[in-house]
Amino acid sequence: MLGYGKTDMPLEASAYSTKRLCDDLAALLDHLGVQKAVCSNTSFFVECAK
């Protein structure tokens, strides 16, 4: 996820919006060929699952 480990760490706060992070997660799952994912009970993943 953006900002963790060796990922990019943009300085602008807009890069970390829920929409943008969810879009990144969806793109990663698409790239990996994942058709169905189970989300843990965190506010971030709940928003992405909508």
Residue 42 within a domain:
yes
Domain ranges, residue 43: 13-49
Rounded Cα–Cα distance for residues 30 and 32 (Å): 5
Give the pLDDT band (50/70/90) at residue 13: confident
> Is residue 34 over pLDDT 90?
yes
Residue 2 within a domain:
no
DSSP label of 1: -
Taking a C-beta distance cutoff of 8 angstroms, is the pair 29, 21 a contact?
no
Q: Which carries the bigger pLDDT value, residue 7 or residue 40?
A: 7
pTM for this predicted structure: 0.64
Rounded Cα–Cα distance for residues 16 and 2 (Å): 8
Please tell me the total count of domains within the chain: 1
